[in-house]
């Protein structure tokens, strides 16, 4: 059982209180009281005078200043045996001493002792000392707990983790797939180690470097690599740790952080998720609060204010640069913005090699094939992919990761957990026609991405899936490619319409129709690919920043809006008619492939293209990724 000081103190305090009262009771009487209690009986003062007159008193001892006496007497009723009795004397009895001398009785007066007062004083001192000591340990213990009472005095202190020499275990060699960003940040490390190389030509290192990119691309990993390579003091903190419910606390923490950094300069400060504290000021509805704005103002002042902060390099990371305040992004604060984007095929291959170091992978597995199979994957996605493949390998009791585990891991990461296969029924046949409709259109259209595989095994919310692999990675997409993608997405609905009739179409195309509508609208409003001409009618920003974009007025009139809707409908109708024509012209091919798919439940891209080539001419497409 784990020992707890808090429990010990909570049990000890009541015991101390109870013990104090027993202490007081035990020492409230003096030693004189103990002496007089040795007398076996008591005697009244009148009877004492009678015994004194009868000369039956031998000795008298006075205590408590003459208020009590212990008398040794002979009791005639007990054969004149000696006994000691206690007598309470009156306050004023001056004649008693004369009578004792007259009768020849030996008497003695014992002075009062102060032992009881001393013990009482000690008792009164010991209890508060023990109580204060117990409370001290209790509060000291609580101060180490989050939100404990001891934290009340530390609100204004920075919560940044400080390492004199950051031992993160990450070097630049462990970061792959983002070579451009690595090169930018290696200059920072070089300046910290060899500043004379830059100062000799009059160059100065940027005061701040902002890492911008989607989640999972390696921004925090780059910061760890800088910390591991630089060999200088390293402060790391999250932007949310500055903001508290009390106004002024965040600004105080910023001051404290930069004060510590100046004491340890040259050093690096890494602020993760800086958008939590660096959002635009005065954005209106929901734009922020006084605490965040005061914290941001203090941060701006510390980064490039009147005093400056020579020797301190600030590195920050965010995936929402669009909401950051303009004053934060200007040169002199964040001089350089480094984009950390999702890696290309070469970058993904390097990332896979890094994460495959500690994995047992079969010799037949080609990392290049995996890289081609995973377009759009970030570094975190690829790490998770190989980890899922390793878990599946262990679950299946294999000694090494094979292509089958990697293929299943890709499907799991992209689409979700594998479900229970469907039984052979009308529903399974309808889903098979739907998926074959997607695959057939994608295969017969020249500008569509090639089919990677078709499956009826449910994953996530999907009852069946058709996978397409982009043939090449390009940031530019042509109008014919967009229309081919819209036609391919409508292939499932077209197959249902041709095979089962309009009255039997299902809700399975709901997600497809959302994608179709989105692509068609972007063709009209953003890319200028319609009869409206080369006009951009909508903002490029896909996310709304409350307070800045919420009240934004429409950028076009109602008549233009009607024409936009008309153009979107025209594009979708044209593509749907093309999909219907393909379904009607290849009805026998569909029936054969559907029967095969129901039997095997999964058909890979090579086999599907071979079957289609027996019935129709398959257009030549750019080199596609081989099936895993």
Count of helices and strands (H, E) across the chain: 22, 14
Q: Is 506 left (phi over 0), alpha (psi -120 to 50) or beta?
A: beta
Whose structure tokens read 């202190």? 157
Helix (H, G, I), strand (E, B), or coil: what is residue 387?
helix
Phi and psi, residue 433, nearest 5°: -65, -40
Give the pair of three-digit tokens for residue 182: 């690595």
583-622 burial: b if 16+ Cβ within 10 Å, else e: beebeebbeebbebbbeebebbbebbbeebeeeeebeebe
Say which DSSP state 418 is in: B
DSSP 8-class letter at 514:
H
Please give the structure tokens belonging to residue 582: 């393909």
- Listed residue (310, 330, 334, 355) closest to 184, CA to CA: 334
Sorted by sequence, the CB contacts under 8 Å of residue 498 that are 6+ apart come out as: 580, 583, 584, 587
Q: Can you say whether the dihedral through the CA atoms of 294, 299, 302, 305 is positive or negative?
A: negative
Indicate the SS3 state at residue 619.
coil
Distances in Å between the Cα of 216 and the Cα atoms of 321, 384, 605 are 16, 11, 30
Residue 143: name the closest of 242, 135, 256, 245 by CA.
135
Tokens 């275990």, residue located: 169
Query: What is the Cα–Cα distance from 162 to 143, expressed in whole angstroms?
Result: 20
Kindly provide the residue ranges of all beta strands, DSSP E only, lying in 220-301, ordered along the sequence.
234-238, 267-272
Contact 457, 423 (CB under 8 A): no
Compute CA distances 110 → 38, 61, 107, 362, whole Å. 15, 7, 10, 103
Active site residues: 435
């Amino acid at each position: 059982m784990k020992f707890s000081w808090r429990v010990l103190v909570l049990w000890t305090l009541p015991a101390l209180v109870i013990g104090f009262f027993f202490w007081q009771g035990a020492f409230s009487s003096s030693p004189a009281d103990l002496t007089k209690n040795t007398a076996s009986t008591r005697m009244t003062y009148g009877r004492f005078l009678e015994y004194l007159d009868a000369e039956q008193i031998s000795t008298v001892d006075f205590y408590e200043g003459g208020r009590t006496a212990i008398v040794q007497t002979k009791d005639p009723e007990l054969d004149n045996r000696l006994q000691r009795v206690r007598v309470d004397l009156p306050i004023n009895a001056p004649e008693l001493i004369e009578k004792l001398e007259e009768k020849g009785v030996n008497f003695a007066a014992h002075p009062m002792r102060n032992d009881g007062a001393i013990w009482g004083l000690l008792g009164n001192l010991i209890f508060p000392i023990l109580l204060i000591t117990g409370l001290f340990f209790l509060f000291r213990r609580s101060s180490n707990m989050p939100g404990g009472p001891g934290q009340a005095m530390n609100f204004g202190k920075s919560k940044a983790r400080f390492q004199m020499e950051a031992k993160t275990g990450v070097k630049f060699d462990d970061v792959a797939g983002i070579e451009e960003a690595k090169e930018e940040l290696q200059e920072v490390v070089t300046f910290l180690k060899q500043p004379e190389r830059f100062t000799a030509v009059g160059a100065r290192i940027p005061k701040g470097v902002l890492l911008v990119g989607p989640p999972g691309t390696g921004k925090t990993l780059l910061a760890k690599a800088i910390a591991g390579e630089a060999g200088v003091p390293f402060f790391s903190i999250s932007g949310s740790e500055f903001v508290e419910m009390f106004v002024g606390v965040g600004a105080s923490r910023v001051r404290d952080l930069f004060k510590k950094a100046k004491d340890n300069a040259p050093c690096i400060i890494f602020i993760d998720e800086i958008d939590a504290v660096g959002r635009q000021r005065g954005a209106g509805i929901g734009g922020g609060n006084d605490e965040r704005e005061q914290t941001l103002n203090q941060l701006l002042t510390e980064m490039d204010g009147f005093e400056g902060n020579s020797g301190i390099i600030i590195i920050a990371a965010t995936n929402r640069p669009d909401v950051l305040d303009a004053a934060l992004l200007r040169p002199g604060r964040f001089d350089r913005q480094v984009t950390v984007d999702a890696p290309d095929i070469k970058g993904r291959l390097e990332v896979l090699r890094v994460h495959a170091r500690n994995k047992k992978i079969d010799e037949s597995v080609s990392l290049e094939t995996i890289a081609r199979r995973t377009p759009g994957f970030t570094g975190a996605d690829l790490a998770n992919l190989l980890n899922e493949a390793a878990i599946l390998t262990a679950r299946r009791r294999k000694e090494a990761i094979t292509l089958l585990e990697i293929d299943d891991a890709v499907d799991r990461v992209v689409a979700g957990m594998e479900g229970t296969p469907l039984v052979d029924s009308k529903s399974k046949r309808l889903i098979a026609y739907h998926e074959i409709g997607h695959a057939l259109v994608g295969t017969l259209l020249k500008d569509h991405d090639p089919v990677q595989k078709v499956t009826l095994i449910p994953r996530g919310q999907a009852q069946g899936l058709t996978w397409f692999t982009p043939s090449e990675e390009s940031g530019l997409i042509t109008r014919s490619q967009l229309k081919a993608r819209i036609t391919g997405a409508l292939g499932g609905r077209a197959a249902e319409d041709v095979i089962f009739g309009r009255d039997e179409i299902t809700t399975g195309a709901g997600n497809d129709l959302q994608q179709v509508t989105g692509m068609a609208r972007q063709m009209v409003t953003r890319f200028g690919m319609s009869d409206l001409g080369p006009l951009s009618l909508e903002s490029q920003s896909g996310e709304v920043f409350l307070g800045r974009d919420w009240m934004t007025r429409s950028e076009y009139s109602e008549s233009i809006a009607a024409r936009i809707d008309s153009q979107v409908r025209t594009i979708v109708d044209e593509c749907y008619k093309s999909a219907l024509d393909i379904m009607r012209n290849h009805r026998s091919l569909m029936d054969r492939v559907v029967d095969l798919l129901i039997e095997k439940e999964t058909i890979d891209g090579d086999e599907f293209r071979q079957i289609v080539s027996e019935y129709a001419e398959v257009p030549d497409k750019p080199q596609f990724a081989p099936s895993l």
